[in-house]
Amino acid sequence: MGIVLGAIADDFTGATDLANNLVRSGMRCLQVIGVPQGPLPLEDVDAVVVALKSRSCPVSEAVGDSLAALDWLQGQGARQVFFKYCSTFDSTDAGNIGPVSEALMERLGAAQTVMVPAFPVNGRTVYQGHLFVGDRLLNESGMQHHPLNPMRDADLVRVLSRQASRPVGLAARPVLAQGGEATRRHLEALREQGIGHVICGTLDEQDLEAIAEAVVDLPLVTGGSGLGQALPAQYRRRDWLAEVAEPGRLAPASGSALVLSGSCSRATLGQVARFLERHPGHVLDPLALAEGDDHFQAALAFARQRLAAGGPVLVYASADPERVRAAQAALGTERAGQLVEAALGRLARQLVAEGVGRLVVAGGETSGAVVSALGIRTLRIGDQIDPGVPWTQAPLDDRQAPLSLALKSGNFGGPDFFTRAFEVLP
């Protein structure tokens, strides 16, 4: 028998977010970085999430990578496929949510799929097709300033219609409130009218449950991690899942504790400030990194010394918008980001080789850089630290015990995330 759910995530921290919700609802979950070259041992795994970097790359690349992930997941026997994108629907008029969904539908022979970005526990809800972040419409939430995919329209039917070739429809709250069966009938009626994509309104967990009941037999579902919280109960009703007492059980953690932050999101800036009130930290400046190796070596020396004294230690490039803009103006946005990502990746590789065994990384791009630098291919998903962020464990060739790793999306986590993460780790 194969896996129950095969998921394709368009970034690394988003993959971990979905995997976290699946584990919390009782599924044993493995995250793989990129499409594996061959089969993996999956006897004790119910769901695999393939983490891609396909959110902001050219459409053709995103489609190609997503189809390769789909082929691999089908090879592992996945009964249902989940395309995971951001709960703020990060995309542009060119894509990638519409084109990737349509390519997956075509390959799966699916006439219809649902779009469910909502993640109510983190404040992402959808009403009459409009996406809210907390009490603000998406286009007033700060996301209108996103450097890569500014979200200037909260009407998801309109947003998706600009990037999809199949017609887009809506399953609004009054339908969901009537329950799973009524929602399924509504989807069917839309399918008969030729509607390929259905934006689902979602205000709370109950709505997610109605959607999950209605879509459990669709070959493809798409959305944020909220739907991942509700689907396992439906799989269980169909007897597809074994009862497992601790689906997020990991080996005991060991080694010293390090936080690396390249995220400049508002939540991360607060977390950095809170950490520095009680623990040592060292700032990385892209302008200084551009001048030679001394700045990196100073950060490495600082971290080594403080880790030896007991840790946890923070190394961060996180900076307020003004400082980020200044670095970007001087170096170019891409080079500034690359300098930071390369430095944090190098620090991770060096310090893990020297004994760091518990590592928190903040930022999606930053997480991608660190995971690549460490050569990590698979992550076993453990228990949640805060909504959307679990501890994970990765086997490493040159380390006997697995590395405990938490990958935090920029805007996720409470203000004390960087300290509490280590307190909740067994």
Ligand X SMILES: Nc1ncnc2c1ncn2[C@@H]1O[C@H](COP(=O)(O)OP(=O)(O)OP(=O)(O)O)[C@@H](O)[C@H]1O
* Number of Cβ within a 10 Å radius of residue 86: 27
Q: Give dist(CA 160, CA 169) in Å, integer.
A: 10
Pair 180, 209: CB distance under 8 Å: yes
Identified binder of ligand X from the candidate list 13, 16, 122, 271, rule CB under 6 A: 13
Angle between helices 156-163 and 97-108 (to 10 degrees): 70
**Residue 17: which of ligand X, ligand LCNOYBR7, none does it interact with, CB under 5 to 8 A by kind?**
ligand LCNOYBR7
User: How many Å is the maximal CA-CA distance in the chain?
Assistant: 66
How many chain residues interact with ligand X (CB under 6 A)? Answer: 25
- The interface mask with ligand LCNOYBR7, positions 401-420, x = CB under 6 A, is --------x-----------
Rg of the chain on CA atoms, in Å: 21
Q: Give dist(CA 352, CA 307) in Å, integer.
A: 11
Identified binder of ligand LCNOYBR7 from the candidate list 98, 129, 169, 364, rule CB under 6 A: 364
Q: Which residue is nearest to ligand LCNOYBR7 (CB)?
A: 14
Q: Give dist(CA 356, CA 41) in Å, integer.
A: 27
Q: How far is residue 165 from each of residues 102, 303, 406, measured CA to CA in Å?
A: 8, 51, 38
Q: Give dist(CA 133, CA 125) in Å, integer.
A: 7
- The interface mask with ligand X, positions 315-334, x = CB under 6 A, is --xxx---xx--xx------
Identified binder of ligand X from the candidate list 262, 281, 312, 402, rule CB under 6 A: 262
The answer to whether 76 contacts ligand X (rule: CB under 6 A) is: no
Identity of the residue, 86 or 159, whose beta carbon is nearer to ligand LCNOYBR7 in the bound complex: 86
Nearest Cα to 354, choosing from 254, 279, 252, 256?
A: 256
Identity of the residue, 98 or 364, whose beta carbon is nearer to ligand LCNOYBR7 in the bound complex: 364
Q: Give dist(CA 219, CA 398) in Å, integer.
A: 40
Identity of the residue, 12 or 240, whose beta carbon is nearer to ligand LCNOYBR7 in the bound complex: 12
The answer to whether 340 contacts ligand X (rule: CB under 6 A) is: yes
The answer to whether 366 contacts ligand LCNOYBR7 (rule: CB under 6 A) is: no
Identity of the residue, 133 or 190, whose beta carbon is nearer to ligand X in the bound complex: 133
The answer to whether 365 contacts ligand LCNOYBR7 (rule: CB under 6 A) is: no
**Residue 224: which of ligand X, ligand LCNOYBR7, none does it interact with, CB under 5 to 8 A by kind?**
ligand LCNOYBR7
Pair 220, 81: CB distance under 8 Å: yes
Nearest Cα to 83, choosing from 171, 18, 148, 39?
A: 18
Nearest Cα to 206, choosing from 197, 218, 214?
A: 214
The answer to whether 224 contacts ligand LCNOYBR7 (rule: CB under 6 A) is: yes
Binding site for ligand X (CB under 6 A): 13, 262-265, 268, 286, 317-319, 323-324, 327-328, 336-337, 340-341, 363-366, 409-411
Binding site for ligand LCNOYBR7 (CB under 6 A): 11, 13-14, 17, 86-88, 119, 224-225, 364, 388, 409
